[in-house]
């Protein structure tokens, strides 16, 4: 592990210089209450104060709509990857979002590897950024409030400068390329970091005990809580769209009028949609909203744990912030566990 230091003015020079290695994307302010990751034109656009973006970082690896292949009667099918060699540097990912990428890596590298996802992953450089939690963050409960890997460089904002953790050989190469901008931290810098770390640890307001949550969910499958939740949930899919680890998608074709050729696409989908479980014969096996919303909770906190040994929720708070009916995931799970 290599720890360095960079001043704010030198950081601007560094992040601007990174543009020669790829397209640099940073957090930007979209409105008074929302932020997005977008292409950087100037370091002045970076919203260092942001906490969560409305659209998660998964959009860089799983596009909302993505062409998979072309096919025709004459040539068969040809796989199409959009911009297969495009390099992207993403700055500003908080620990929960870096962990969300690690979760997607885990889910999409199994028996059936997603080549479209991993082609974009290998062409993406990750620069993390430290953060301070608000009343919607429960990442500490999910074990995603910190990172020791999954990034190339990780920046901690200490007001006049950043402490920088080098997390990969690529990150090390960049710090050497711009060695005149970086310096070794002094003992006072480490003290400042530890002080900020302790302040951050005391700032978490929301918590969830997940130690035996899968077991409790097993015995609460028929609880009335799910029917109550089904009455409140619109099944609009907003939580799935903003979730950094939801990876469900639909596949559809656009065929020419003569039926001789076409293109295949995939687009983000949600298990909350009624037609998500539509099968041949018009049968839908999760017609009730309560069944669909329960399925989403069980996949996040139960099914994923059974398969991969950890929940797929990162505690980022997006679903809490953007649910139109103010459903609070921590309150729901605490109620399931009899704590509310």
In this prediction, residues 191-209 reach a mean pLDDT of 95
pLDDT score of 236 more than 70: yes
Name the pLDDT band for 118 (thresholds 50, 70, 90): very high
pLDDT tens for each residue of 265-279: 999 999 999 999 999
pLDDT score of 185 more than 80: yes
In this prediction, residues 298-327 reach a mean pLDDT of 96
Name the pLDDT band for 258 (thresholds 50, 70, 90): confident
pLDDT for position 73: 87
The better pLDDT of the pair 32, 27 is held by 27
Share of residues in the chain with pLDDT > 70 (%): 99
pLDDT for position 86: 93
pLDDT for position 75: 86
In this prediction, residues 175-189 reach a mean pLDDT of 96
pLDDT for position 49: 95
pLDDT for position 84: 85
In this prediction, residues 291-310 reach a mean pLDDT of 95
pLDDT score of 305 more than 70: yes
In this prediction, residues 227-244 reach a mean pLDDT of 96
pLDDT score of 1 more than 70: no
Mean pLDDT of the chain: 95
pLDDT for position 77: 87
In this prediction, residues 191-220 reach a mean pLDDT of 95
pLDDT for position 140: 97
First and final C-alpha spacing in the chain: 43
Share of residues in the chain with pLDDT > 90 (%): 90
pLDDT for position 10: 97
In this prediction, residues 186-196 reach a mean pLDDT of 95
pLDDT tens for each residue of 42-66: 999 999 999 999 999 999 999 999 9
In this prediction, residues 142-163 reach a mean pLDDT of 96
């Amino acid at each position: 592990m290599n720890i360095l230091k960079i001043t704010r003015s030198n950081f601007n020079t560094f992040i601007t210089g990174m543009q020669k290695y790829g397209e640099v994307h940073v957090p930007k302010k979209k409105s008074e209450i929302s932020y997005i990751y977008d292409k950087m034109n100037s370091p002045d656009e970076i919203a260092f104060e942001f906490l969560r973006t409305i659209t998660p970082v998964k959009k860089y690896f799983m596009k909302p709509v993505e062409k998979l292949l072309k096919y025709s009667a004459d040539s068969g099918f040809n796989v199409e990857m959009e911009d297969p060699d495009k390099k992207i540097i993403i700055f500003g990912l908080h620990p929960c979002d870096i962990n969300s990428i690690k979760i997607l890596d885990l889910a999409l590298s199994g028996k059936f590897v997603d080549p479209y996802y991993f082609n974009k992953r290998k062409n993406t450089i990750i620069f993390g950024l430290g953060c301070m939690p608000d009343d919607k963050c429960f990442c500490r409960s999910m074990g995603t409030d910190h990172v020791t890997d999954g990034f190339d460089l990780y920046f901690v904002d200490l007001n006049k400068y950043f402490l920088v953790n080098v997390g990969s050989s690529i990150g090390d190469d960049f710090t050497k390329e711009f060695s005149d901008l970086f310096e070794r931290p002094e003992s006072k810098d480490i003290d400042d970091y530890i002080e900020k770390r302790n302040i951050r640890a005391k700032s978490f307001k929301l918590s969830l005990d997940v130690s035996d949550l899968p077991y409790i969910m097993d015995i609460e499958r028929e609880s009335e809580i799910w029917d109550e939740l089904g009455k409140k949930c619109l099944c609009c899919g907003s939580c799935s769209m903003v979730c950094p680890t939801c990876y469900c998608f639909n596949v559809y074709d656009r065929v020419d009028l003569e039926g001789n050729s076409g293109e295949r696409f995939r687009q983000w989908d949600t298990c909350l949609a009624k037609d998500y479980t539509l099968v041949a014969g018009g049968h839908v096996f999760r017609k009730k909203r309560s069944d669909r919303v329960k399925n989403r909770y069980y996949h996040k906190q139960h099914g994923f744990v059974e398969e991969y040994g950890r929940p797929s929720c990162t505690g980022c708070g997006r679903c809490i912030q953007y649910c139109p009916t103010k459903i609070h995931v921590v309150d729901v799970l605490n109620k399931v566990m009899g704590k509310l």
